[in-house]
Amino acid sequence: DWTPAAFVQETVARIKQQVGDKKVVMALSGGVDSTVAAELIHKAIGPNLYCVFVDNGLLRKDEFETVLDSYKHMGLNVKGVNAKDLFYGQLNGVKDPEEKRKIIGRLFIEVFQQEAVQLKDIAFLGQGTIYPDVIESVSVNGPSATIKSHHNVGGLPEKMNMSLVEPLRFLFKDEVRRVGKEIGISDIFLARHPFPGPGLAIRILGDITAEKVEMLQEADAIYIEGLKEAGLYNQVWQAGTILLPVQSVGVMGDERTYEFCVALRAVTSTDGMTADWAHLPYEFLAKISNDIINKVKGINRVVYDISSKPPATIEWE
């Protein structure tokens, strides 16, 4: 029978054998998978694991600083790279969702490669690939692989000429969480909702500017904090805010406003392949709506997305 304890023991031994006294480089995303994978590799080879965490400017509010800090507390050898301006520059004026994904994927590889070549004698590339990623990236009819191009897998290994270390390759998400718990990874990582690689770029419909990112980060932080405070965060599979490319009329005091609208999204799901919109309490939605409109400059309207997947998708882009 599969147990997290036995898995950890076997995997750490296998990584030791595979890597020996060579070095591994790995990109961290702040997500469950890369964090658990890194910690397993770290258990096996200690400081010979070199981690890179890239700030693409499209993460949640304060996420880069907080997560980088947690990684350091875990004892990981991690370098944070601020590449915001590069990403904003290249995304300037780009509206097409797939184009955004391509640019972000390409820049991410560029930045990571630049860091990796500065480290000498790296022989292995660590990755947090899990079993569903493997299936989705090989099956022609895999839903997300064909409908939206995810870039978690692929790209990196071919270009970098390194062997892979993928300790989670045969695990499902719930097993990854159990392994993470077994090796003492904090709930900050384990209970975190999935977050797309292209980040807020695909939650800002239309073109991306630093101002829009900041506006969305503020609204998103109010929503996510609110879910946690109300004890609802762990009851939904994923939640987030979407900045619509729509301005509408409102009234604030005696003034007419003409500002942006955000959509709140929350879904229940077991694997992200199908999902239902979460029936969040009206009182909760009312409070979040008020808070966002009162606190976030530039937003005067909030709507709730009541579409399920299929036929809608979880993200809007």
Binding residue numbers for ATP:
29-35
Q: Closer to ligand XMP at the Cβ: 45 or 111?
A: 111
DSSP annotation of 240: E
From CA 194, how far away is CA 315, in angstroms rounded?
11
Residue of 148, 169, 173, 181 interacting with ligand XMP (CB under 6 A) = 148
Stretch that binds ligand XMP, among 55-63, 68-76, 144-152, 287-295 (CB under 6 A): 144-152
Q: Which of 50, 77, 279, 88 is nearest to 199 (CA)?
A: 88
Contact assessment for residue 109 and residue 156, using Cβ atoms and an 8 Å cutoff: yes
206 binds ligand XMP per the rule CB under 6 A: no
Q: Read off φ and ψ for residue 193, nearest 5 degrees.
A: -65, 155
Residues in the chain: 317
Q: Closer to ligand XMP at the Cβ: 46 or 310?
A: 310
102 binds ligand XMP per the rule CB under 6 A: no
Q: Read off φ and ψ for residue 165, nearest 5 degrees.
A: -120, 110
> Which residues 255-294 are close enough to bind ligand XMP by CB under 6 A?
272
Measured on CA atoms in the order 250, 255, 260, 263, is the torsion positive or negative? negative
| CA distance to 18, 159, 170, 185, per residue, from 83 (Å) | 32, 20, 32, 27
194 binds ligand XMP per the rule CB under 6 A: yes
Q: Closer to ligand XMP at the Cβ: 212 or 265?
A: 265
Q: Read off φ and ψ for residue 51, nearest 5 degrees.
A: -105, 150
207 binds ligand XMP per the rule CB under 6 A: no
Q: Closer to ligand XMP at the Cβ: 97 or 126?
A: 97
Residues in contact with ligand XMP, total (CB under 6 A)?
16
**Shortest distance, position 110 Cβ to ligand XMP, whole Å:** 17
4 binds ligand XMP per the rule CB under 6 A: no
Q: Read off φ and ψ for residue 3, nearest 5 degrees.
A: -130, 150
Query: Which segments are annotated as binding site?
Result: 29-35
Stretch that binds ligand XMP, among 9-17, 116-124, 149-157, 249-257 (CB under 6 A): 149-157
197 binds ligand XMP per the rule CB under 6 A: yes
Q: Read off φ and ψ for residue 35, nearest 5 degrees.
A: -70, -45
Stretch that binds ligand XMP, among 6-14, 18-26, 195-203, 291-299 (CB under 6 A): 195-203
Q: Closer to ligand XMP at the Cβ: 127 or 300?
A: 127
196 binds ligand XMP per the rule CB under 6 A: yes
**Shortest distance, position 236 Cβ to ligand XMP, whole Å:** 12
Residue of 11, 152, 217, 289 interacting with ligand XMP (CB under 6 A) = 152
From CA 20, how far away is CA 76, in angstroms rounded?
18
**Shortest distance, position 80 Cβ to ligand XMP, whole Å:** 20
How would DSSP label each residue in 182-236? HTT--HHHHTPPP--TTGGGGGB-S---HHHHHHHHHHHHHHHHHHHHTT-GGGS
308 binds ligand XMP per the rule CB under 6 A: no
173 binds ligand XMP per the rule CB under 6 A: no
From CA 77, how far away is CA 11, in angstroms rounded?
20
Q: Which of 233, 225, 229, 218 is nearest to 292 (CA)?
A: 218
Residue of 14, 102, 192, 309 interacting with ligand XMP (CB under 6 A) = 309
Contact residues: ligand XMP, CB under 6 A: 101, 144, 148, 150-152, 194, 196-198, 238, 272, 309, 313-315
